[in-house]
Amino acid sequence: MNTGARYNPAVGTWTPISTTNAPSPRTGHRAVWTGSEMIVWGGYAASFFANNVTNTGARYNPITDTWTAITAGGGSRQNHSVFWTGTEMLVWGGTAIGSGLFGSTTSPRNDGARYNLASNSWTFISSSGTPSVRVDYSAVFTGSDMIIWGGRDSLGSIVTTQTNYQDGFRYSLAANTWTPISTAGAPVRRFGHSAAWSGTEMIIWGGQYAEGSINIVRSNFNNGARYNPAANTWAPISATAAPAARVGHDAVWTGNRMIIWSGGDGTNLFDSGARYFPAVNAWSNMTSVARPVGREDHTTVWSGSEMIIWGGFNEFMRDLGGSYNATSDVWTPTAPSGEPSVRRGHTAIWTGSEVLVWGGFDGERHLNTGGRYVPSLNAWTPITINGAPSGRTTHSAVWTGTEMIVWGGVGPNFLNTGARYNPATGLWTAMTTNGAPTARNGHAAVWTGTQMVVWGGLDGAFANTGARYNPANNTWTATSTTGAPSARSGAPGVWTGTEMLVWGGVGGSVASQFPLSTGARYNPANNTWVSLQTTNAPGARTAHRALWTGDEMLIWGGTDLTTNLNTGGRYNRAANTWSAITTSGAPLPRAEHTAVWDGTRMIVWGGAAGESYLRDGGIYNPLTDGWLDTLLGTNAPPARAQHAAVWTGSEMVVYGGYHVEPSPQGSIFFDDTWHYIPPRSMFLYLRP
């Protein structure tokens, strides 16, 4: 690739980098920051006819968003060490590509060069006394010296062996000379370790030992030592409370502590880490809350206040990351662009002018991020995470007229916490847990005009309890259980203007559950329940959708835990009677779909049917009891389920969701936004 972007951690937004005059596509390159520009240099560029390691690069100015080529030189290489000295870019080591008996070979380099920005010229580093050829070594820059330590002499293969090193060398920038460093008290020989410069010491930690042929047993380390170049001495690092042994991890220096994160043991990639305080020679754990998934080949930088990681891969390429505040021990996710990141199981509500998307699950973690979308402008702005509830999915969200109230869900444990978000001020206000329902997800929630009513759900067992939340005084009041429906989860609630209607869902026990075809009406004014008529009610189901038309509740779709359904029913509250929704012309059976009410019709789209995911739907008119095919065809979004949809007054806006591809791809999550205008029976693609 030869594309990129700038990430602003203060506001959590991305800005694309110009590709005009950018360096050619490459990987294994390196970059330094000069104080005003980024210099990109070297790397590997594969073509159909050849494998090329380059010695080219360019300077990028973020103020003007422009690239300027630098003169070629320094020796072609990839995966090298690079530092900015204040006036020069210092380059050393890395590998080149050569030809051998068995085809292309990777050859380590033990030379280097210095690029002078002012003169746009290169000079070579002295080769006298240079470290022996090596890869997977560590390198730090002290401000006057570059220190190289450890590593191995080859990558190992069927026909080559490898030797691990315990030695190190200091390169003096002023004298252009190399000097060996002491090995007394140094860590045992290793490669793939980390090194951080504290201002007075080089701190070596972790890594791996493996000598001989590539098939030998390997040993990972969770120990290390500190090297003081002024005294040319080593001091051991405490192993008490140190992170698990690993290789290929990150290490950054914050000013008074070293942060270790990620890496692996040859079988697993870690999403864990710890903080090391050299002043007291002690370790402190790192929180696991909201941390990114374990990965390798990602980027890591220290911003001056946070460690920011991004990209990389484990079983999938990652376009997500996180920023870690070492003082407060808090992780904050980074979104890939202005819109919320990929997710499913999130909520979306319409404020009258904006769509508010929040929460969900991205395949790695439960999210506490979101975004505000203005359809007329096709523009997203992030929702602040300051004061936001913890990450979660299958929660509820209602709109009060001025605030979005988020409550409950799972992330990964059941939650009974929540908060109110005011888009006018951009602020979150925490909700009290005093008197709140037990932690749960899959519950029903409606807004009455003055209160949010929460009922049912799963809190380890199916629940038939609930409560009313009053945001005016931040209080909860329990709902009556007298006459309440049987305990259940997955029963959507609708508000009629005076009552909450709850129908369907799944009940029984978690180990032996079954779908339900019963329901009831809850009147918050007098805190009473009245059962719904069961005669002519739709068949038992869960994962269905329910809407209020103004005088009827519409139920459609879902699953009876064996079969997906395309049947439904209409409940007339005044008469307490059910009538069937026609199946003639109805969409295919499905669950986890969306349904919105456009004022006169129900619009159904997407969802899952067993292992198949759908990109079609239908429009149901209760006046005619007839379906209209939405004719989505080639213009529809990719098939998905667990997406969110809202009706804006003129169009349906669909955001996010996921579907599952055959192995090895697995789950594909979406962060795209689509508009559907019913009279034209087509989707308009606006923004991925």
Whether residue 292 contacts residue 321, with contact meaning beta carbons closer than 8 Å, is answered with yes
Residue 5 included in any domain: yes
pLDDT tens, 147-192? 999 999 876 554 456 889 999 999 999 999 999 999 999 999 999 9
pLDDT tens, 494-523? 999 999 999 999 999 988 999 999 999 999
Tell me, what's the pLDDT at 276? 97
pLDDT mean across residues, the chain: 90
Count the domains in the chain.
4
- Least confidently predicted of 94-108, 135-149, 281-295, 323-337: 94-108
Whether residue 179 contacts residue 234, with contact meaning beta carbons closer than 8 Å, is answered with no
Tell me, what's the pLDDT at 320? 67
The 3-state DSSP class for residue 104 equals strand
Tell me, what's the pLDDT at 187? 96
- Please tell me whether residues 458 and 585 are part of one structural domain: yes
Which has the closest alpha carbon to 612: 634, 633, 586, 638? 638
pLDDT at 397 over 80: yes
Tell me, what's the pLDDT at 565? 97
Of 206, 237, 268, the position where a domain reaches its end is 237
Residue 497 included in any domain: yes
pLDDT at 683 over 50: no
Question: What is the token pair recorded at 118?
Answer: 């002012």
Tell me, what's the pLDDT at 665? 61
CA distance 480 to 466: 8
- Please tell me whether residues 592 and 646 are part of one structural domain: yes
- Please tell me whether residues 531 and 658 are part of one structural domain: yes
CA distance 256 to 25: 38
Domain that holds residue 407: 357-430
Tell me, what's the pLDDT at 318? 63
pLDDT at 477 over 70: yes
pLDDT tens, 343-369? 899 999 999 999 999 999 988 789 999
- Please tell me whether residues 559 and 657 are part of one structural domain: yes
CA distance 290 to 303: 19
The pLDDT-based confidence of 682 (bands split at 50, 70, 90) is very low
Of 90, 105, 125, the position where a domain reaches its end is 125
pLDDT at 684 over 60: no
CA distance 287 to 323: 12
CATH label of the domain that carries residue 606: 2.120.10.80
Whether residue 432 contacts residue 475, with contact meaning beta carbons closer than 8 Å, is answered with yes
Kindly state the average pLDDT of the residues 118-140.
Answer: 95
- Please tell me whether residues 107 and 224 are part of one structural domain: no
pLDDT tens, 47-57? 545 568 899 99
Position with higher pLDDT, 100 vs 61: 61
Tell me, what's the pLDDT at 98? 54
- SS3 for 266-305 is CCCECCCEEEEECCCCEEEECCCCCCCCCCECCEEEECCC
- Please tell me whether residues 107 and 157 are part of one structural domain: no
- Please tell me whether residues 139 and 229 are part of one structural domain: yes
Residue 255 included in any domain: no
Percent of the chain with pLDDT over 70: 91
- Cross-strand partners of 123: 114
Of 412, 430, 448, the position where a domain reaches its end is 430
Kindly state the average pLDDT of the residues 413-420.
Answer: 97
Phi, psi for residue 98 in degrees, rounded to 5:
-130, -175
- Please tell me whether residues 136 and 197 are part of one structural domain: yes
Angle, alpha carbons 117-118-120 (nearest 5°): 60
pLDDT at 634 over 90: no
DSSP secondary structure, 486-541, as one string: PSBBS--EEE-SS-EEEE--EEE-SSSEEEB--EEEEETTTTEEEEPP-TTPPPPB
pLDDT at 487 over 80: yes
- Please tell me whether residues 425 and 517 are part of one structural domain: no
Which has the closest alpha carbon to 675: 635, 639, 642, 641? 635
Whether residue 306 contacts residue 325, with contact meaning beta carbons closer than 8 Å, is answered with yes
- Please tell me whether residues 109 and 186 are part of one structural domain: no
pLDDT at 332 over 90: no
Please state, in angstroms and as integers, the Cα–Cα distance from residue 331 to each residue in 287, 303, 377, 403, 405, following that order. Answer: 8, 14, 32, 26, 23
Kindly state the average pLDDT of the residues 30-59.
Answer: 86
Tell me, what's the pLDDT at 212? 67
- Please tell me whether residues 512 and 435 are part of one structural domain: yes
